[in-house]
């Protein structure tokens, strides 16, 4: 598979590009790959709405991970 990896300015991989022909082959092989159950779509939409309406409550991912690493309860 000929994938392309996109990186941010820090060299972190942020996305993967799959050529359309290979994507089409995958979706044919694994029927329903593109379809999310309605309950998952609802959760995603709720979270996107929250982010849109409360941008001041967003935390950069790196900061969030650092906070998780500090938590010793896990």
pLDDT in tens, 23-39: 888 888 877 666 778 89
The SS3 assignment for 9 reads: coil
Reading the block at residue 16, the tokens are 């993967």
* Together in a domain, 27 and 61: no
Band (73; pLDDT cuts 50, 70, 90): low
Is pTM, for the whole model, over 0.85? no
- Count of structural domains within the chain: 2
E strands, the chain, are 4-7, 13-17
pLDDT higher for 49 or 31? 49
Whether the Cβ atoms of residue 6 and residue 19 lie closer than 8 Å to each other:
no
**Phi and psi angles of residue 5, each rounded to the nearest 5 degrees, phi first:** -110, 130
* Together in a domain, 25 and 42: no
* Together in a domain, 25 and 43: no
* DSSP conformation class of 36: P
* Together in a domain, 41 and 28: no
* Together in a domain, 30 and 9: yes
Residue 29 structural domain:
1-34
* Together in a domain, 47 and 58: yes
Band (61; pLDDT cuts 50, 70, 90): confident
pLDDT at 4 over 80: yes
* Together in a domain, 3 and 24: yes
């Amino acid at each position: 598979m000929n994938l392309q990896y996109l990186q941010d300015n820090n060299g972190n991989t942020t996305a993967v590009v799959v050529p359309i022909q290979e994507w089409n082959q995958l979706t044919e092989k694994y029927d329903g790959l593109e379809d999310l159950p309605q309950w998952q779509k609802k959760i995603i939409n709720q979270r996107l709405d929250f982010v849109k309406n409360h941008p001041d409550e967003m935390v950069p991912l790196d900061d969030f991970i650092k906070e998780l690493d500090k938590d010793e309860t896990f």
